[in-house]
Structure 1
Amino acid sequence: MSSPIRVVVTGAAGQIAYSLLYQIAKGDVFGADQPVILHLLDIPPMMEVLGGVVMEIIDLALPLVTEIVPTADPTVAFKDVEAAFLVGAMPRQQGMERKDLLSANVKIFKVQGEALDKYAKKTVKVLVVGNPANTNALVCSRYAPSIPRENFTAMTRLDQNRGRAQIAERLKVNVGQVKNVIIWGNHSATQVPDANSATVDLGSGPVPVTGALKNDEWLKGEFITTVQKRGAAVIAARKMSSAVSAAKAAGDHMHDIWHGTAPGQFVSMGVLSDGSYGAPKDVVFSFPVTIENKEWKIVQGLQVADYHKPLLEATGKELLEEKAEAIEVCEH
């Protein structure tokens, strides 16, 4: 057994954390032989509920959990953590615009950035799940200047998982046979799901998804809009936002940061843009990345279809607008 690592989950009494904590505690994220000390942060009114969550984690009787630290104090929550899941944010409710979320949530992520800067390990890997995730990750990194900006990523893995699942359903194959679906841009309705570099194994090795589907119209239209609007569709049906699928995606994302991507495969995550593929610089933009030694690298040289180019431009523009708005909120 290695020595335990400290992992913080914010919004720990909420729906997403409820599913995520089980994955972490069981070893699905950091490894079957990696003990964890769980730091659980939530707001003071949620402390009683958080107490119930702590009881359940204890009752799981999972040997990897060596200690649980429930708290409403960011100084305690972020102390010496090596991995941070920033889940806690004002949830999006039916009929709510992302802009309404933005002004409420960027302030939370400014405070958490400052706390990470002061108390977390400088090697901490930070995953932002709370929406608007890309811009929250950017804000968080701005207020944690002593931590490398590359250590802050935003979750578009849920969108990638949704895209893979749509293709698998369409081709009537197991989702495990579909690889390298890309999500470009913002985790919002402007995101650009792209299957043009994706492969599917139909039994004799991977072939391009485009060739297997033989349906460009579906890929240009319904595939994109279904993935873009899936979150809203779940809210409409469940009267709550995606929880178990979001938790699974957060676990997948951090697992890949910790353990790296498989050879020949890449994953989508919101990372600090260097201008690749014409994206605006200095925003958190979702790209296909490979990961090795806990460091991500944007996959270069992929073909972007002509019909995707205006969509990439639109999602980049939205991120620049969100960034300007967020900076204004934080500085006033």
Structure 2
Amino acid sequence: YSLLFGIAKGDVFGKDQVKGRKKLWLDLHYVTSQLILLGLVYPCLFHLFSEVIPTDKEEVAFKDLDAAILVGSMPRREGMERKDLLKANVAIFKSQGAALEKYAKKTVKVLVVGNPANTNCLIAAKSAPSIPKENFSCLTRLDHNRARSQVAMRCGVPATQVKNVIIWGNHSSTQYPDVHHCKVNMAGSDLACFDAVKDDDWLKGAFISTVQQRGAAVIAARKLSSAMSAAKAICDHMRDIWSGTPEGEFVSMGVYSSSNSYGVAEDLIYSFPVHIKDKQWKIVDGLAINDFSRGKMDATAAELVEERDTAVTFLSA
């Protein structure tokens, strides 16, 4: 429900929606037991919505989609092994990928939010073979936004004055928030993040662990996940796909690794810095990687390889 307001206000596809269409059709795919909750949607309708369609039928929800945001997944429960979590989610995202394959446009842009997001995204992409894998991405923008805000607070500036932080790898506690290429605008000048913060120990220690553990800290504090900030990140991610990123700036997205970029193994959904133009993302190449960063990038990649290899055994079962 936090996400609906951002879409309805035009924060994602624009106030006038996509070119050639003045109104937005919103398909909400729920399991049957949750459909009664969608009565809450109707009082919240905004002028941009032409129609809201709550349904538990894949052939209705996935028909001719331009964009798909796959929010739900099986959460990890007490006593559940990670292997069991992967097995449950493979079944979910294999089904959703097959529905995209059967009903959605081949140009559909798919954002996977449900965790473990990177591997769930890979399973969905593998289950929709006629849709380009480049059309699939997973959400690491929430981590990107958190890293940006941590630097901004440390420097005493708005988050809008911090750019080009990077989240490398998995949306998990192994992710690597990297500020070696980050710029902070202070007093009208762009400073390297390390020069702006002036605390290398914090940037290489507490900053990284704070971003890595922020989701767990929110759950511990409110007994629920960070719905509002996650919704904001989803809107940011999809808006940038539709509208592009400013020249000279990049954002973090989990995307398909197919060319051994930055030494990352192929056939993973790995978070990279990307620039987006004409609805196409491109990994920002040529950034210098020091030994400190290399070790952390490799560690999160190794976790993703293990997740992928475990998940694929369930996919073929």
Q: What do the CA deviations read for 1:152-182 (whole angstroms, capped 9, x no partner)?
A: 0010000000000111111111111100100
Matched, 1:305 2:313: no
Matched, 1:280 2:268: no
Against the structure 1 CA distance between its residues 211 and 97, is the aligned structure 2 distance closer, same or farther, given a 3 Å change threshold? farther
The answer to whether structure 1 residue 239 and structure 2 residue 239 are counterparts is no
Provide the alpha-carbon RMSD of the alignment: 1.3
CA offset digits 1:260-284 (Å, max 9, x no partner):
0011100000000121111111100
Please state how far the C-alpha of 1:95 moved relative to its aligned partner: 7.6
CA shift, 1:92, in A, is 4.0
Alpha-carbon deviations, 1:54-95, whole Å to 9, x = none? Answer: 32xxx2341110011101111111000100000011234578
TM-score, structure 2 length as denominator?
Answer: 0.95
Hey, what's the Cα distance between the residues in 1 that align with 2:231 and 2:125?
22
Contact map agreement 2:2 2:231 (CA 8 A) in 1? yes
Query: Aligned partners of 2:286, 2:308: CA distance in 1, in Å?
Result: 27
Aligned partner of residue 163 in structure 1, secondary structure:
helix
Q: Is residue 43 from structure 1 mapped to residue 31 from structure 2 by the alignment? A: yes
> Which residue pairs with 2:6 in the alignment?
23
Aligned residue number for residue 136 of structure 1: 120
Post-superposition CA distance 1:198-256 (Å, at most 9, x none): 00110223111111112111111111111001111111111111111111101100000
Q: CA deviation at 1:96?
A: 6.1
Please give the residue correspondences for 1:169-188 in structure 2 after superposition, counting only pairs within 5 Å. Answer: 169-188=153-172
Query: 2:133 is matched with which residue: 145, 149, 154?
Result: 149
The aligned runs of 1:106-125 (5 Å cut-off) are 106-125=90-109
Question: Which segments of 5 or more consecutive residues in structure 1 lack a partner in the other structure?
Answer: 1-17
Q: How does 1:291-330 map to 2 (within 5 A)?
A: 291-330=276-315
- In 2, Cα distance between the equivalents of 1:66 and 1:231? 35
Residue 148 of structure 2 corresponds to residue 160 of structure 1: no
Match of residue 111 from structure 2 = 127
Is it true that 1:69 corresponds to 2:57 in the alignment?
Answer: no
Cα distance in 1 for partners of 2:217, 2:82 equals 15
Change (3 A) 1:256 1:225: same
Counterpart residue identity of residue 277, structure 1: Y
Task: After superposing the two structures, state which structure 1 stretch, 288-297 or 83-92, moved more.
Answer: 83-92
Q: What is the rounded CA distance, in whole Å, between the counterparts of 1:68 and 1:178 in structure 2?
A: 37
CA distance in 2, matches of 1:208, 1:74: 48
1:190 aligns with 2:174: yes
- Aligned-residue offset at 1:191: 0.3
CA contact (8 A) 1:40 1:70 kept: yes
Taking structure 1 as reference, are residues 193 and 67 closer, same or farther at Cα in structure 2, changes over 3 Å only?
same
Structure 1 residue identity aligned to 2:10: G
Question: Counterpart amino acid of 1:207?
Answer: L
- Equivalent residue in structure 2 for 1:250, among 205, 212, 234: 234
What CA deviation, in whole Å up to 9, does each residue of 1:183-204 have, x standing for no partner?
0000000000001100011022
Residues 39, 69 of structure 1: 8 Å contact kept: yes
- How many equivalent pairs are there? 311
Letter in 2 for 1:229: Q
Question: SS of 1:229's equivalent?
Answer: helix
**3-state SS, counterpart of residue 41 of structure 2:** helix
Identity %: 58
Distance 1:283 1:82, change over 3 A: same
Q: In the alignment, what sits opposite 2:15?
A: 32
Aligned residue number for residue 10 of structure 1: none
Deviation sequence 1:257-310 (CA, Å, 0-9, x none): 000001110000000012111111110000000000000000011112211211
**Structure 2: gaps (5+ residues):** 18-22
Partner residue in 1 for 2:40: 53
Q: TM-score, normalised by structure 1?
A: 0.91
Separation in 2 of the partners of 1:306 and 1:175? 28
